[in-house]
Amino acid sequence: MNFELKIMGTASAMPISDRNPSAQVLSVHGRLFLIDCAEGTQQQIRRAHLSFLKIEAVFITHIHGDHVFGLFGLLSTMAMYGRTAPLYIYGPQALGSVLKFYSSFFADGSNFEVVFTPVSCSAPTMVHESKNVKVQAFPLNHKIECYGYRFDGIPSERHPDVPSYAYCSDTAPFEALSSFVKGVKVLYHEATYPAEMKDKAAFRYHSTTRDAALCAKEAGVQTLLIGHYSSRITDFDSLLKECTDIFPQTVLCCDLMEMSI
């Protein structure tokens, strides 16, 4: 069994000419799981040749625009495509009010149910179980309530070795985080700032390259993916080097990058 990961966006805060803000699609045996849904996600889904109708669930980390502004357009397009299957959405409690606003103004003619389940946890907690994968949420340390998500394949007799993936964006470093993502095959961890901007990172509850690499090392993952770059970053080679000096198996994500896990 493989997970196929497609990165929709790697910018932080706002879209720039060659980067969209946060969204990723994890494909598990044809079922799609959308993680965050920034502005521009719909176009990126089209560019990645993925089907809107195959999205089974959406996992939102927190209610900052660069993680959620694409949700209204996505729901609207699903309705226009005649979706009837329920769509499961997970995220902080406040997302419920955002979805209510959407349904009171824009959901006329929509024939599918949005099943929203608020996430509220202080330790890893199971939120969604599908045919081949189970998904846990875990708390992050950001300016507002924020959760990461961990996807573990469910082993069977035919597929005893299963992939695992964890997504951490946005967060300041904290001790328990590496235990939440312990042993995953691939870890995505935000690296908004280079190491020298650690004060700014701390002030904004974000991580540096060094924080991401140390978390990957401590958690014993196989591969670290970094993204959510500040729009001020121009030297991506040094950004990567700051990570590989600590954790050699680091990959610098770019928009529309694909990876088999």
Q: Which is nearer to Zn ion, 64 or 128 (CB)?
A: 64
Q: Which CA distances in Å does 153 have to 16, 69, 161, 163, 179?
A: 34, 29, 8, 5, 18
Place of tokens 């009171």: 104
In terms of DSSP H, where are the helices of the chain? 41-47, 65-68, 71-80, 94-106, 177-180, 198-203, 209-219, 236-244
Using Cβ positions, the residue closest to Zn ion within the complex turns out to be 64
Give the C-alpha distances (Å, rounded to integers) separating 89 from 44, 60, 67, 77. 20, 8, 14, 16
CB 228 → Zn ion: shortest distance, Å? 6
Choice between 79 and 98, CB closer to Zn ion: 98
d(CA 162, CA 132): 9
In this structure, the strands spanning 258-260 and 3-9 are antiparallel
Backbone region of residue 242 per phi and psi (left: phi > 0; alpha: psi in -120 to 50; beta: other values): alpha
**Catalytic: 66?**
yes
Q: Closest CB to Zn ion among 12 and 250?
A: 12
Closer residue to Zn ion, CB minimum distance, 164 or 230 = 230
Which DSSP string corresponds to 132-183? SEEEEEEE--SSS--EEEEEEEPP-SS--S--EEEEE-S----TTHHHHTTT
- Determine the Cα–Cα distance for residues 193 and 211; give it in Å rounded to an integer: 10
Catalytic choice (36, 66, 152, 170) = 66
| Residue (of 169, 207, 165, 208) closest to 187 by Cα position | 165
- Output 18 or 157, the one with its CB closest to Zn ion: 18
Q: How far is the CB of 13 from Zn ion (least distance, A)?
A: 6
Q: Note the residues at the interface with Zn ion (CB under 5 A).
A: 12, 64, 66, 170
CB of 38 to Zn ion, least distance (A): 8
CB closer to Zn ion, 56 vs 66: 66
- Active site residue ranges: 66
